[in-house]
Amino acid sequence: MELQDGAELCFPQLYNTSCKKPASWAEAVLFPVTLSFISLITAALNLLVIITVSHFRQLHTPTNILLLSLAVSDFLLGLLLMPVEIIRNTACWFLGDIVCSLYNSLSFTITSASVGDMVLISIDRYVAICDPLHYSSRVTEERVKVCVCLCWLFSVLYGGLIVMDDFKMPGSHNSCYGECMITIDHIEGTIDLVVSFIVPVLVIMVLYMRVFVVAVSQARAMRSHVTAVTKRLSETRAKKSELKAARTLGVLVTVFLICFIPYYCVSLAGDDLLSNAHASYVLFLFYFNSTLNPVIYALFYPWFRKAVKLIVTLQILQPGSSEANIL
């Protein structure tokens, strides 16, 4: 790595092999402060979602268990991945090569868990809208918990295997000391592209296209039975609830795809996204999706807004608060 005269080095004692410290005010101060604020907001908002779904018994439903798993991955992303990514891109890396390898593995683990949660959410809505009569028997809390555990287990194994070479030779891809690079070979990159991008996106889009078609037909059917008997009206309300949930989770998935697709588009275009310090800012768009998810809950779920009030005012500390009616 070529060094300019007078440039500040991360490791001055290693003049010929040390990386340079950030030179501009934006790199050294503006970006880290801004991104740190986003990281803090992401962790705080998702922690509210975790407390809400975990505490209130009314929210212990299969769909909300999936939202809880997504919130956990988003919380870990805001608490761990974002701060380390800020250091990796805007400052010298002083944490060592082993920590760098662990971070690389953790980043694949958490992001693949988020992708898996989105696929499970799409499947949940598909069954709820397209096969409502069998939804309660097919999608139970126990089955959903098993699916979530398997999703996280697969993500942990995947996160370790995809960067196996990085663990064997930590720091071998760094161009200078004070750097943490994420580098995977062509085969691993192809596997990651298929497992984390092509297959999940195809599954999500196909399922939601089917959900959209069925939801439109159900909405038309409900409008044509507005004057039906009381029993029919109760069934209609149930369907409306499912359709509203489908729309909300549809927005969640759409925002996810908008934030997610550019990450791999850059890679497909030929840029080594994970090795280029400037191009890796596209990764923050993907990470920013974790900030937007709780905002979507706040906009579309009245129970989340009500729960946040109870949490902020510490009313959840009162005996029996978990049985409160927030729906």
The pLDDT, as a whole number, for residue 67 is 93
The predicted pLDDT at position 45 comes to 94
Give the pLDDT score at 78: 94
Which residues of the chain, if any, have pLDDT below 50?
A: 1-6, 227, 229-234, 236, 271-274
pLDDT at 120: 94
Q: The pTM is what?
A: 0.85
Contacts of 82 (CB under 8 A, 6+ apart): 35, 38, 39, 42, 284, 287
pLDDT at 68: 95
Position 147 scores a pLDDT of: 97
- The per-residue pLDDT for 170 is 79
Q: What is the pLDDT of residue 270?
A: 55
Whole-number pLDDT of residue 26: 59
Phi, psi (deg, nearest 5) at residue 272: -80, 85
Write out pLDDT tens, residues 116-164. 999 999 899 889 888 888 898 999 999 999 999 999 999 999 999 888 8
Q: What is the number of other CB atoms lying within 10 angstroms of the CB of residue 114?
A: 28
Q: Which domains does the chain have, with CATH numbers?
A: 25-320 (1.20.1070.10)
**Predicted local distance difference test score (pLDDT) of residue 233:** 45
Alpha carbon separation from 176 to 25, 89, 278, 325 (Å, rounded) = 22, 14, 17, 58
pLDDT at 246: 63
